[in-house]
């Protein structure tokens, strides 16, 4: 029983840290006003995986008119 409680506490702490890290990343995005296009990032990663040396994707300004994707739980 103690092991189960310890495991639940470890999971809760990891989840809490996940949310703290996510909030810090979100605040950093708001501060820098820069985001990266998903297609650009995918192309960059795929080129790196195949051994290429592509240039890094260019940051785009955050468009406040576009809604944020809702969180998934």
* 46-58 confidence digits (pLDDT tens): 999 999 999 999 9
Cβ atoms of residues 34 and 62 within 8 Å: yes
Helix or strand or coil: residue 35? Answer: strand
Whether 28 is in a domain gets the answer yes
Whether 66 is in a domain gets the answer no
pLDDT band at 70 (very low <50, low <70, confident <90, very high): low
Q: Where are the alpha helices (DSSP H) in the chain?
A: 2-32, 38-49
Residue numbers of the domain that contains 46: 2-61
* 10-43 confidence digits (pLDDT tens): 999 999 999 999 999 989 988 998 889 899 999 9
Total domains in the chain come to 1
Cα dihedral sign for 17, 19, 23, 21?
A: positive
Q: Which residues contact 48 (CB under 8 A, 6 or more apart)?
A: 54
Whether 23 is in a domain gets the answer yes
């Amino acid at each position: 029983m103690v092991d189960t409680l310890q495991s639940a506490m470890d999971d809760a702490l990891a989840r809490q840290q996940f949310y703290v890290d996510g909030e810090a990343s979100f605040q950093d995005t708001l501060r820098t006003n820069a985001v990266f296009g998903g297609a650009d990032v995918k192309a960059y990663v795929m080129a790196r995986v195949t051994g290429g040396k592509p240039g890094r994707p260019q940051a785009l300004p955050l468009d406040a008119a576009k809604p944020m994707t809702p969180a998934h739980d």
